[in-house]
Chains A and B, each alone.
Chain A
Protein backbone atom coordinates (compact mmCIF):
# COMPACT_ATOMS: atom_id res chain seq x y z
CA UNK A 1 0.00 0.00 0.00
CA UNK A 2 1.59 3.28 -1.06
CA UNK A 3 0.18 6.70 -1.76
CA UNK A 4 -3.60 6.83 -1.49
CA UNK A 5 -6.53 9.15 -1.16
CA UNK A 6 -7.94 8.66 2.31
CA UNK A 7 -11.02 9.93 4.10
CA UNK A 8 -10.62 11.51 7.51
CA UNK A 9 -13.70 12.37 9.50
CA UNK A 10 -12.70 15.20 11.77
CA UNK A 11 -15.26 16.94 13.97
CA UNK A 12 -17.98 15.51 11.78
CA UNK A 13 -16.53 16.83 8.51
CA UNK A 14 -15.10 14.51 5.89
CA UNK A 15 -11.72 15.45 4.44
CA UNK A 16 -10.09 13.69 1.49
CA UNK A 17 -6.33 13.77 1.69
CA UNK A 18 -3.48 12.20 -0.23
CA UNK A 19 -1.43 10.32 2.32
CA UNK A 20 1.41 7.84 2.55
CA UNK A 21 1.71 5.14 5.22
CA UNK A 22 4.60 6.80 7.06
CA UNK A 23 2.71 10.04 7.66
CA UNK A 24 1.69 10.88 11.19
CA UNK A 25 -1.85 11.75 12.10
CA UNK A 26 -0.79 15.01 13.73
CA UNK A 27 0.82 16.16 10.48
CA UNK A 28 -2.28 15.37 8.48
CA UNK A 29 -4.47 17.21 10.98
CA UNK A 30 -2.23 20.27 11.26
CA UNK A 31 -0.42 20.62 7.96
CA UNK A 32 -2.74 19.04 5.42
CA UNK A 33 -6.14 19.83 6.86
CA UNK A 34 -4.97 22.98 8.61
CA UNK A 35 -6.53 22.37 12.00
CA UNK A 36 -3.66 23.76 14.05
CA UNK A 37 -5.44 23.67 17.39
CA UNK A 38 -3.83 20.31 18.07
CA UNK A 39 -0.30 21.00 19.31
CA UNK A 40 3.01 19.21 19.18
CA UNK A 41 5.69 19.50 21.83
CA UNK A 42 7.67 16.39 22.64
CA UNK A 43 7.06 14.17 19.61
CA UNK A 44 7.56 11.21 21.89
CA UNK A 45 4.34 10.51 23.74
CA UNK A 46 5.42 12.19 26.96
CA UNK A 47 3.52 15.48 26.96
CA UNK A 48 0.02 14.82 25.64
CA UNK A 49 -0.19 18.13 23.73
CA UNK A 50 -1.15 16.26 20.55
CA UNK A 51 -4.05 14.39 22.18
CA UNK A 52 -7.13 13.95 19.98
CA UNK A 53 -10.07 11.60 20.39
CA UNK A 54 -10.51 8.70 18.01
CA UNK A 55 -13.92 7.10 18.35
CA UNK A 56 -14.10 8.83 21.72
CA UNK A 57 -10.77 7.58 23.09
CA UNK A 58 -7.83 9.92 23.74
CA UNK A 59 -4.77 9.04 21.68
CA UNK A 60 -1.44 10.67 20.90
CA UNK A 61 -1.63 11.88 17.31
CA UNK A 62 2.17 12.29 17.10
CA UNK A 63 2.62 8.53 17.57
CA UNK A 64 -0.28 7.46 15.36
CA UNK A 65 0.13 6.63 11.70
CA UNK A 66 -2.49 8.59 9.79
CA UNK A 67 -3.30 5.53 7.72
CA UNK A 68 -4.63 3.76 10.83
CA UNK A 69 -7.11 6.58 11.52
CA UNK A 70 -8.80 6.51 8.13
CA UNK A 71 -12.57 6.57 8.31
CA UNK A 72 -12.65 6.78 12.11
CA UNK A 73 -14.33 9.57 14.02
CA UNK A 74 -11.65 12.03 15.06
CA UNK A 75 -12.36 14.89 17.43
CA UNK A 76 -9.88 17.72 17.82
CA UNK A 77 -10.08 20.76 20.06
CA UNK A 78 -11.78 22.65 17.20
CA UNK A 79 -14.67 20.20 17.51
CA UNK A 80 -15.54 21.16 21.08
CA UNK A 81 -17.12 24.57 20.57
CA UNK A 82 -20.48 24.94 18.89
CA UNK A 83 -19.80 27.78 16.47
CA UNK A 84 -18.86 30.72 18.64
CA UNK A 85 -20.39 29.12 21.73
CA UNK A 86 -17.63 27.53 23.78
CA UNK A 87 -18.03 24.03 25.17
CA UNK A 88 -18.72 23.99 28.93
CA UNK A 89 -15.27 22.47 29.45
CA UNK A 90 -13.68 25.38 27.62
CA UNK A 91 -15.75 27.86 29.58
CA UNK A 92 -14.70 26.22 32.83
CA UNK A 93 -10.99 26.39 31.91
CA UNK A 94 -11.41 30.04 30.98
CA UNK A 95 -13.24 30.92 34.14
CA UNK A 96 -11.10 28.99 36.61
CA UNK A 97 -7.73 29.94 35.15
CA UNK A 98 -6.94 26.53 33.73
CA UNK A 99 -5.27 28.21 30.76
CA UNK A 100 -2.09 30.22 31.06
CA UNK A 101 0.19 30.05 28.02
CA UNK A 102 -2.38 27.76 26.45
CA UNK A 103 -0.05 25.38 24.69
CA UNK A 104 -1.10 22.30 26.65
CA UNK A 105 -4.77 23.31 26.66
CA UNK A 106 -5.94 21.54 23.49
CA UNK A 107 -4.60 18.24 24.82
CA UNK A 108 -5.88 18.92 28.33
CA UNK A 109 -9.32 19.72 26.98
CA UNK A 110 -9.47 16.48 24.98
CA UNK A 111 -8.40 14.39 27.97
CA UNK A 112 -10.97 16.23 30.07
CA UNK A 113 -13.65 15.53 27.48
CA UNK A 114 -12.88 11.80 27.63
CA UNK A 115 -12.86 11.82 31.43
CA UNK A 116 -16.21 13.57 31.76
CA UNK A 117 -17.78 11.37 29.07
CA UNK A 118 -16.74 8.32 31.10
CA UNK A 119 -17.18 9.73 34.56
CA UNK A 120 -19.37 12.85 34.84
CA UNK A 121 -18.58 13.35 38.54
CA UNK A 122 -14.88 12.68 39.08
CA UNK A 123 -13.06 13.26 42.36
CA UNK A 124 -9.97 15.47 42.34
CA UNK A 125 -7.85 12.35 42.50
CA UNK A 126 -9.62 10.85 39.50
CA UNK A 127 -9.10 14.10 37.61
CA UNK A 128 -5.40 13.93 38.41
CA UNK A 129 -5.19 10.37 37.13
CA UNK A 130 -7.12 11.19 33.97
CA UNK A 131 -4.83 14.10 33.12
CA UNK A 132 -1.55 12.43 34.09
CA UNK A 133 -0.63 12.01 30.43
CA UNK A 134 -0.84 15.76 29.80
CA UNK A 135 1.97 17.99 30.98
CA UNK A 136 1.52 21.66 31.85
CA UNK A 137 4.50 23.86 32.74
CA UNK A 138 2.55 26.97 33.77
CA UNK A 139 -0.35 26.30 36.04
CA UNK A 140 0.97 23.83 38.57
CA UNK A 141 -2.18 21.85 37.73
CA UNK A 142 -4.29 23.10 40.66
CA UNK A 143 -6.30 25.45 38.49
CA UNK A 144 -6.64 22.81 35.81
CA UNK A 145 -8.14 20.40 38.34
CA UNK A 146 -10.38 23.23 39.55
CA UNK A 147 -11.47 23.81 35.95
CA UNK A 148 -12.36 20.16 35.39
CA UNK A 149 -14.31 20.04 38.65
CA UNK A 150 -16.15 23.18 37.58
CA UNK A 151 -16.78 21.80 34.11
CA UNK A 152 -18.35 18.70 35.64
CA UNK A 153 -20.52 20.90 37.78
CA UNK A 154 -21.81 23.11 34.95
CA UNK A 155 -22.32 20.16 32.62
CA UNK A 156 -24.43 18.48 35.25
CA UNK A 157 -26.60 21.58 35.39
CA UNK A 158 -27.30 21.27 31.69
CA UNK A 159 -24.18 22.46 29.98
CA UNK A 160 -24.57 26.18 30.45
CA UNK A 161 -22.56 28.48 32.61
CA UNK A 162 -24.45 29.71 35.62
Chain B
Protein backbone atom coordinates (compact mmCIF):
# COMPACT_ATOMS: atom_id res chain seq x y z
CA UNK B 1 0.00 0.00 0.00
CA UNK B 2 1.33 3.40 -0.92
CA UNK B 3 1.88 5.77 1.91
CA UNK B 4 2.04 9.09 0.07
CA UNK B 5 0.43 10.77 -2.90
CA UNK B 6 2.40 11.44 -6.07
CA UNK B 7 3.08 15.10 -6.84
CA UNK B 8 0.60 17.15 -8.85
CA UNK B 9 -0.02 20.78 -9.66
CA UNK B 10 -2.59 22.48 -7.45
CA UNK B 11 -4.91 25.35 -8.26
CA UNK B 12 -7.37 27.29 -6.13
CA UNK B 13 -9.48 29.37 -8.50
CA UNK B 14 -12.14 31.67 -7.12
CA UNK B 15 -14.69 31.48 -9.93
CA UNK B 16 -16.33 28.66 -11.89
CA UNK B 17 -15.08 30.18 -15.14
CA UNK B 18 -11.50 29.90 -13.98
CA UNK B 19 -12.14 26.24 -13.14
CA UNK B 20 -13.41 25.62 -16.66
CA UNK B 21 -10.32 27.23 -18.12
CA UNK B 22 -8.06 25.00 -16.04
CA UNK B 23 -9.86 21.76 -16.91
CA UNK B 24 -7.78 20.09 -19.57
CA UNK B 25 -8.13 16.33 -19.56
CA UNK B 26 -8.45 13.01 -17.78
CA UNK B 27 -5.60 13.61 -15.36
CA UNK B 28 -6.96 16.91 -14.15
CA UNK B 29 -9.40 16.44 -11.31
CA UNK B 30 -11.62 18.66 -9.26
CA UNK B 31 -11.30 18.69 -5.47
CA UNK B 32 -14.45 19.29 -3.42
CA UNK B 33 -14.38 17.45 -0.07
CA UNK B 34 -11.46 15.34 -1.24
CA UNK B 35 -12.44 12.06 0.42
CA UNK B 36 -12.37 9.92 -2.72
CA UNK B 37 -9.87 12.03 -4.60
CA UNK B 38 -7.19 11.78 -1.93
CA UNK B 39 -7.84 8.12 -1.17
CA UNK B 40 -7.93 7.02 -4.81
CA UNK B 41 -4.83 9.02 -5.55
CA UNK B 42 -2.95 7.43 -2.68
CA UNK B 43 -4.10 3.97 -3.77
CA UNK B 44 -2.94 4.83 -7.30
CA UNK B 45 -6.42 4.17 -8.65
CA UNK B 46 -6.23 7.54 -10.35
CA UNK B 47 -3.27 9.46 -11.67
CA UNK B 48 -3.27 13.20 -11.14
CA UNK B 49 -1.42 15.91 -13.02
CA UNK B 50 -3.53 18.78 -11.81
CA UNK B 51 -5.93 19.21 -8.92
CA UNK B 52 -8.35 22.10 -9.04
CA UNK B 53 -9.89 22.96 -5.71
CA UNK B 54 -13.43 24.34 -5.55
CA UNK B 55 -12.98 25.28 -1.91
CA UNK B 56 -12.06 28.90 -2.57
CA UNK B 57 -15.06 29.61 -4.78
CA UNK B 58 -17.62 31.57 -2.79
CA UNK B 59 -21.32 30.64 -2.94
CA UNK B 60 -21.02 27.00 -3.95
CA UNK B 61 -21.76 25.71 -0.46
CA UNK B 62 -25.45 26.62 -0.37
CA UNK B 63 -28.45 24.48 0.52
CA UNK B 64 -31.69 26.25 -0.23
CA UNK B 65 -35.37 25.62 -0.46
CA UNK B 66 -38.29 27.48 -1.90
CA UNK B 67 -41.78 26.09 -2.59
CA UNK B 68 -41.53 26.76 -6.30
CA UNK B 69 -38.16 25.21 -7.09
CA UNK B 70 -37.85 22.76 -4.24
CA UNK B 71 -34.49 21.90 -2.75
CA UNK B 72 -31.16 22.69 -4.33
CA UNK B 73 -27.60 22.42 -3.17
CA UNK B 74 -24.33 23.61 -4.62
CA UNK B 75 -21.18 21.67 -5.45
CA UNK B 76 -19.57 22.45 -2.10
CA UNK B 77 -22.60 21.74 0.11
CA UNK B 78 -21.57 19.02 2.52
CA UNK B 79 -23.59 15.96 3.46
CA UNK B 80 -23.77 17.37 6.97
CA UNK B 81 -25.28 20.66 5.77
CA UNK B 82 -27.99 18.82 3.83
CA UNK B 83 -28.66 16.39 6.67
CA UNK B 84 -29.14 19.29 9.07
CA UNK B 85 -31.25 21.39 6.70
CA UNK B 86 -34.68 21.30 8.39
CA UNK B 87 -36.82 20.94 5.23
CA UNK B 88 -34.91 17.85 4.08
CA UNK B 89 -35.97 15.65 6.99
CA UNK B 90 -39.56 16.76 6.58
CA UNK B 91 -40.07 16.70 2.82
CA UNK B 92 -37.42 14.41 1.32
CA UNK B 93 -37.31 11.70 3.97
CA UNK B 94 -35.41 9.19 1.86
CA UNK B 95 -32.63 11.67 1.11
CA UNK B 96 -32.35 12.45 4.81
CA UNK B 97 -32.21 8.74 5.62
CA UNK B 98 -29.62 8.10 2.92
CA UNK B 99 -27.31 10.71 4.41
CA UNK B 100 -28.15 9.72 7.95
CA UNK B 101 -27.03 6.13 7.34
CA UNK B 102 -23.56 7.46 6.56
CA UNK B 103 -22.61 7.37 10.18
CA UNK B 104 -19.20 9.05 10.29
CA UNK B 105 -19.61 12.69 11.27
CA UNK B 106 -16.19 13.53 9.82
CA UNK B 107 -17.14 12.01 6.47
CA UNK B 108 -20.33 14.06 6.35
CA UNK B 109 -18.50 17.25 7.33
CA UNK B 110 -15.86 16.77 4.62
CA UNK B 111 -17.84 15.03 1.92
CA UNK B 112 -20.07 16.90 -0.49
CA UNK B 113 -23.24 15.42 -1.95
CA UNK B 114 -22.28 16.52 -5.45
CA UNK B 115 -18.87 14.90 -5.03
CA UNK B 116 -20.52 11.69 -3.92
CA UNK B 117 -22.55 11.60 -7.14
CA UNK B 118 -19.62 12.60 -9.36
CA UNK B 119 -17.57 9.64 -8.12
CA UNK B 120 -20.08 7.48 -9.97
CA UNK B 121 -20.23 4.70 -7.42
CA UNK B 122 -23.20 2.32 -7.48
CA UNK B 123 -22.98 2.13 -3.68
CA UNK B 124 -23.85 5.79 -3.09
CA UNK B 125 -26.39 6.18 -0.30
CA UNK B 126 -27.78 9.36 -1.77
CA UNK B 127 -28.15 8.26 -5.38
CA UNK B 128 -31.18 5.96 -4.89
CA UNK B 129 -33.13 8.64 -2.99
CA UNK B 130 -32.21 11.25 -5.61
CA UNK B 131 -33.23 8.82 -8.40
CA UNK B 132 -36.70 8.41 -6.92
CA UNK B 133 -37.17 12.06 -5.96
CA UNK B 134 -36.67 13.29 -9.52
CA UNK B 135 -33.37 15.07 -8.90
CA UNK B 136 -31.61 16.97 -11.64
CA UNK B 137 -27.91 17.60 -12.10
CA UNK B 138 -26.66 20.93 -13.40
CA UNK B 139 -23.52 20.63 -15.49
CA UNK B 140 -21.37 23.51 -16.64
CA UNK B 141 -18.70 23.09 -19.29
CA UNK B 142 -16.83 24.97 -21.91
CA UNK B 143 -19.77 24.53 -24.27
CA UNK B 144 -22.30 25.97 -21.86
CA UNK B 145 -24.73 24.74 -19.29
CA UNK B 146 -27.17 21.85 -19.19
CA UNK B 147 -29.40 20.12 -16.69
CA UNK B 148 -29.95 16.37 -16.83
CA UNK B 149 -32.03 13.91 -14.80
CA UNK B 150 -29.81 12.12 -12.33
CA UNK B 151 -30.60 8.70 -13.85
CA UNK B 152 -28.85 9.67 -17.04
CA UNK B 153 -25.84 11.02 -15.16
CA UNK B 154 -24.55 7.57 -14.22
CA UNK B 155 -23.00 5.58 -17.07
CA UNK B 156 -20.96 2.71 -15.66
CA UNK B 157 -18.90 1.73 -12.64
CA UNK B 158 -17.05 4.91 -11.67
CA UNK B 159 -18.16 6.56 -14.88
CA UNK B 160 -20.59 9.42 -15.37
CA UNK B 161 -21.60 11.50 -18.37
CA UNK B 162 -19.35 14.27 -17.09
CA UNK B 163 -16.77 15.20 -19.72
CA UNK B 164 -13.25 16.18 -18.64
CA UNK B 165 -14.06 19.83 -19.38
CA UNK B 166 -17.23 19.89 -17.29
CA UNK B 167 -18.17 20.16 -13.63
CA UNK B 168 -21.39 19.76 -11.71
CA UNK B 169 -22.38 22.94 -9.92
CA UNK B 170 -25.75 22.02 -8.48
CA UNK B 171 -28.22 19.24 -7.77
CA UNK B 172 -31.88 20.13 -7.40
CA UNK B 173 -34.78 18.12 -6.06
CA UNK B 174 -38.32 19.19 -6.92
CA UNK B 175 -41.05 19.78 -4.38
CA UNK B 176 -43.01 16.55 -3.91
CA UNK B 177 -46.73 16.47 -4.71
CA UNK B 178 -49.30 16.14 -1.94
CA UNK B 179 -49.74 12.52 -0.94
CA UNK B 180 -46.10 11.63 -1.57
CA UNK B 181 -43.91 9.69 0.82
CA UNK B 182 -40.41 8.34 0.48
CA UNK B 183 -38.12 5.96 2.33
CA UNK B 184 -34.57 4.66 2.13
CA UNK B 185 -33.14 1.46 3.56
CA UNK B 186 -29.68 0.03 3.52
CA UNK B 187 -28.15 -3.26 4.42
CA UNK B 188 -24.53 -3.22 5.50
CA UNK B 189 -22.07 -5.50 7.24
CA UNK B 190 -21.90 -3.00 10.08
CA UNK B 191 -23.43 0.45 10.45
CA UNK B 192 -20.09 1.99 9.42
CA UNK B 193 -19.60 -0.08 6.29
CA UNK B 194 -20.76 0.81 2.80
CA UNK B 195 -23.99 -0.78 1.62
CA UNK B 196 -24.36 -4.39 0.51
CA UNK B 197 -27.52 -3.16 -1.08
CA UNK B 198 -29.63 -0.07 -0.62
CA UNK B 199 -33.12 0.83 -1.73
CA UNK B 200 -35.16 4.01 -2.06
CA UNK B 201 -38.88 4.20 -2.74
CA UNK B 202 -41.06 7.22 -3.45
CA UNK B 203 -44.77 6.70 -3.75
CA UNK B 204 -47.64 9.03 -4.54
CA UNK B 205 -51.11 8.07 -3.36
CA UNK B 206 -54.56 9.47 -4.04
CA UNK B 207 -57.50 7.98 -2.18
CA UNK B 208 -55.35 4.98 -1.38
CA UNK B 209 -54.54 4.32 -5.02
CA UNK B 210 -50.94 4.42 -6.23
CA UNK B 211 -50.60 7.21 -8.77
CA UNK B 212 -46.91 6.83 -9.20
CA UNK B 213 -44.16 4.79 -7.60
CA UNK B 214 -40.44 5.07 -8.09
CA UNK B 215 -38.00 2.46 -6.88
CA UNK B 216 -34.23 2.72 -7.07
CA UNK B 217 -31.65 0.15 -6.08
CA UNK B 218 -27.99 0.59 -5.24
CA UNK B 219 -25.04 -1.83 -5.19
CA UNK B 220 -26.77 -4.37 -7.42
CA UNK B 221 -25.41 -3.22 -10.78
CA UNK B 222 -22.62 -1.05 -12.19
CA UNK B 223 -24.72 2.04 -11.47
CA UNK B 224 -27.69 2.71 -9.25
CA UNK B 225 -30.78 1.58 -11.17
CA UNK B 226 -34.53 2.11 -11.28
CA UNK B 227 -36.74 -0.96 -10.93
CA UNK B 228 -39.13 0.15 -13.66
CA UNK B 229 -40.99 -3.18 -13.99
CA UNK B 230 -41.82 -3.08 -10.31
CA UNK B 231 -42.92 0.56 -10.62
CA UNK B 232 -45.27 -0.32 -13.47
CA UNK B 233 -46.62 -3.33 -11.62
CA UNK B 234 -48.17 -1.20 -8.87
CA UNK B 235 -49.40 1.79 -10.84
CA UNK B 236 -53.11 2.48 -10.46
CA UNK B 237 -53.51 -0.20 -7.83
CA UNK B 238 -54.44 -0.24 -4.21
CA UNK B 239 -51.23 -1.00 -2.40
CA UNK B 240 -52.10 -3.97 -0.23
CA UNK B 241 -49.54 -6.47 1.05
CA UNK B 242 -49.95 -8.74 -1.96
CA UNK B 243 -49.37 -5.92 -4.38
CA UNK B 244 -46.26 -4.74 -2.55
CA UNK B 245 -44.94 -8.29 -2.43
CA UNK B 246 -45.41 -8.53 -6.19
CA UNK B 247 -43.51 -5.28 -6.76
CA UNK B 248 -40.71 -6.45 -4.47
CA UNK B 249 -40.42 -9.68 -6.43
CA UNK B 250 -40.37 -7.78 -9.71
CA UNK B 251 -37.56 -5.57 -8.38
CA UNK B 252 -35.53 -8.59 -7.26
CA UNK B 253 -36.18 -10.27 -10.61
CA UNK B 254 -34.67 -7.26 -12.36
CA UNK B 255 -31.27 -7.29 -10.65
CA UNK B 256 -28.14 -9.28 -11.40
CA UNK B 257 -25.92 -8.46 -8.44
CA UNK B 258 -22.37 -9.71 -7.98
CA UNK B 259 -20.81 -11.84 -5.29
CA UNK B 260 -18.07 -10.06 -3.39
CA UNK B 261 -16.52 -9.81 0.05
CA UNK B 262 -19.69 -8.26 1.46
CA UNK B 263 -22.36 -10.68 0.21
CA UNK B 264 -23.23 -13.35 -2.30
CA UNK B 265 -25.29 -12.48 -5.35
CA UNK B 266 -28.07 -14.79 -4.19
CA UNK B 267 -28.30 -13.08 -0.80
CA UNK B 268 -28.33 -9.65 -2.39
CA UNK B 269 -31.16 -10.68 -4.70
CA UNK B 270 -33.21 -12.07 -1.82
CA UNK B 271 -32.63 -8.97 0.26
CA UNK B 272 -33.68 -6.63 -2.55
CA UNK B 273 -37.10 -8.21 -2.16
CA UNK B 274 -37.13 -7.60 1.59
CA UNK B 275 -35.82 -4.04 1.46
CA UNK B 276 -38.14 -3.00 -1.37
CA UNK B 277 -41.08 -4.44 0.53
CA UNK B 278 -40.16 -2.75 3.80
CA UNK B 279 -39.30 0.63 2.33
CA UNK B 280 -42.48 0.53 0.23
CA UNK B 281 -44.52 0.08 3.39
CA UNK B 282 -42.71 2.91 5.12
CA UNK B 283 -43.11 5.23 2.12
CA UNK B 284 -46.85 4.41 1.95
CA UNK B 285 -47.26 5.16 5.64
CA UNK B 286 -45.55 8.49 5.12
CA UNK B 287 -47.61 9.31 2.03
CA UNK B 288 -50.79 8.67 4.01
CA UNK B 289 -49.80 11.00 6.86
Contact = CB atoms under 8 A, between A and B. Distances in A.
Interface of A: 1-2, 20-24, 27, 43-46, 48, 51, 57-60, 63-65, 67-68, 111, 114, 129-130, 132-133, 135
A20 B7 contact: yes
Interface residues of B, number: 31
A127 B15 CA distance: 39
B80 to A, nearest CB: 9
A21 B53 CA distance: 11
A45 B107 contact: yes
Interface in B106-120: 106-107, 109-110
Given A64-B38, A132-B104, A59 B110 contact: yes
Interface in B130-168: none
7 contacts: A21-B7, A24-B38, A45-B39, A48-B106, A58-B105, A60-B35, A133-B104
B68 interface: no
Contacts of B9: 1-2, 21
Nearest to A21: B10
A84 B228 CA distance: 64
Contact of B10 (A27, A64, A67, A111): A67
Nearest to A110: B106
Contact of B38 (A63, A111, A132): A63
A130 B51 contact: no
Interface of B: 1, 3-12, 31, 34-35, 38-39, 41-42, 48, 51, 53, 55, 103-107, 109-110, 191-192
A27 B42 CA distance: 13
B112 to A, nearest CB: 13
A135 B109 CA distance: 17
Given A22-B8, A24-B5, A68-B55, 20 more contacts: A20-B7, A21-B51, A22-B6, A22-B7, A22-B10, A27-B4, A43-B1, A44-B39, A45-B106, A59-B106, A60-B106, A63-B34, A63-B38, A65-B10, A67-B10, A68-B31, A111-B106, A129-B103, A132-B104, A133-B106
Contact of B103 (A1, A51, A132): A132
A132 B192 contact: yes
Nearest to B38: A63
Nearest to B12: A1
A63 B104 CA distance: 14
Given A21-B8, A58-B105, A43 B34 contact: no
A1 B191 CA distance: 40
A49 B159 CA distance: 31
A68 B53 contact: yes
Contacts of B107: 45, 60, 133
Given A24-B4, A46-B192, A133-B104, A65 B31 contact: yes
Contacts of A58: 105-106, 109
A133 B105 contact: yes
Best-surrounded residue of A2, A63, A129, A135 (most CB of chain B within 10 A): A63
